[in-house]
Every structure is written in structure tokens, then in C-alpha cells.
Amino acid sequence: METKRMKDAVNKIEMPSDMKKQILENCYAEIERNNYGMKQLFRKPAFALPVLVLCLSLVGFTTVAAAGKLSGFFKDITNPFGTVTGTEYLDATDEIEISVDCDSDQMKIELVFVNPDTAPYNELDSITISDWKIENSQGKVVMKNGEVKMSAIENGKAVLTMSLDSLPEGSYKFIVNELTGSKKADSPLKISGTWIVSFEK
């Protein structure tokens, strides 16, 4: 019942519907990450709005309101028993810029960190693309999740290469949903977002 109050409060804020949805998802993730009990949290109606305000603050609502962008956040990875087994970084779409350049049968992919001096980007040595696909002009997937070698990060950017020798000439979309960053002695960090780049071959 009270979760509905939280949704209604967000829906009254004037912003795109997809942004409202993302804020709600971030709220729930933050509540879970901080080990709040949803039933206990919303047992009294008076708790709904303060918790909503807290959540919006935690996920960077100020940034959203001022710049129209969502901030990424860390989330623990747990096994079925609730034990933390790692960490991932979600909603990084607005924090990394991806561009491509096709030269014959090879595509150069440039990743640029918008704020390279902030976590997690200032902690990474190298990065790769771990979940991606290429769609043709009809929306059909013509390539997907082939291996892309890790590339070193220098001055807040990295350049990766991908072979396109099996791809005929035409118009395409390169869609990326996950990157994987690495640092010596640390576990790889999954970085999720949605990046869509159109290109011609």
C-alpha cells in the first residue's frame, strides 16, 4: 500500500516517464543495498514520503533535476544464501561515452569516461565490452557477444577494436549493455548501462 504512495509521489514530478521508472528502480535498489526491511519501512504512512526523499537523495536526484541525467551506483552481488560475492556498478549510461569508427573490416570503439577522477573509473586499469550486439536496418541481430580484448585505460579513455569482416555493407546499430573493468589484484567489475551507436560500413 505504501509503496504505491511512493510511486504516486514520483509520478507527480515532471520528468520523462523512463526517468521516473529508473528513479523508482534506484530507490528500491538503495533500500535493499542498505538492508532496510520494506515491510518495516512502510508500516506507517508517515514513513513513505521521507523514505522517498532519502532514496532520491541517495541516487543523485539533485543531479537528475539539474542536468537531466541519472547517476550510476554500486550494488552488491549476492548468492542464493545472501552472501555477498562481489560488486557491480549500475546505470552508467550517462557516465561513459561510446563512439565507433569503421575502417574496412575493422571497427574502432572509443570509450570515454565523463568523470574519470571519480569511482569506479579512477580505480580501473583496463576495460572491455562484455555484452553487446549489432543490429541491421531491419532490427535483426547480425552479430552478438563475440570476444573483445581488454584495452588499457589512458587519460580517462580506452580504444577497443572489433573485426567486422563477416558483416556486409549497410547501416547498423551497435548496442552495448555491459562493460567489464579490471584492476590488478581485484575482481573484474561489471558496469551496466545502455549505449546505442549508429554506424555505416
Q: Average pLDDT per run of 10 along the chain, which is 201 residues long?
A: 54 54 58 50 46 48 48 92 92 97 92 96 96 97 95 97 93 97 90 97 91
Cell representation of residue 129: 565490452
List the domain range (segments joined by +) for residue 12. Answer: 2-71
Residues 6+ apart with CB under 8 A from 43: 2
The structural domain count of the chain equals 2
Domain co-membership, 42 together with 132 = no
Domain co-membership, 66 together with 98 = no
CATH of the domain at 163: 2.60.40
Position 100 in a domain = yes
pLDDT for position 21: 57
Domain co-membership, 105 together with 193 = yes
Is residue 30 within 8 A of residue 55, CB to CB? The reply is: yes
Domain co-membership, 98 together with 178 = yes
Position 78 in a domain = no
Q: Give CA angle at 51 (47, 56), nearest 5°.
A: 155
Domain co-membership, 176 together with 121 = yes
pLDDT for position 104: 79
Is residue 149 within 8 A of residue 160, CB to CB? The reply is: yes
Cross-strand bridge partners of residue 31: none
Cross-strand bridge partners of residue 188: none
Domain co-membership, 98 together with 176 = yes
Position 164 in a domain = yes
Strand order in the sheet with 96-103: 96-103, 106-113, 157-163
Domain co-membership, 151 together with 63 = no
For 140-172, letters b (16+ CB in 10 Å) and e give eeebeeeebebbebeeeebebebebeebeeeeb
Domain co-membership, 104 together with 156 = yes
For residue 132, which of 120, 121, 147 has the smallest C-alpha distance?
Answer: 147
Domain co-membership, 51 together with 16 = yes
pLDDT for position 186: 84
Whole-structure pTM over 0.85, yes or no? Answer: no
Position 32 in a domain = yes
Q: What is the chain's length?
A: 201
Other C-beta atoms closer than 10 Å to the C-beta of 176 total 23
Position 82 in a domain = no
